[in-house]
Amino acid sequence: MRFIDIKTDYAFKKVFGSENSKEILFSFLNSISELNYKIIDMKSISKSTGLTIEQLKSLNK
């Protein structure tokens, strides 16, 4: 049996990209992050917004 490589954009989106897999995505991100807090929710923002990292961070405030 062959498995899809999760490191590809296509596979990652297939596994983690649906509303049904939100909890799995949060669990994965929290397990690999070094943040002092847990991710409990997020918004999807298009890459074509043209916003800088600082502007994106300010959206969460």
In 3-state terms, what secondary structure has residue 53?
helix
Contacts of 45 (CB under 8 A, 6+ apart): 51, 56, 59
pTM: 0.56
Q: Tens-digit pLDDT profile for the chain (61 aa)?
A: 888 888 888 888 888 888 888 898 899 889 998 888 898 888 776 666 677 778 777 776 5
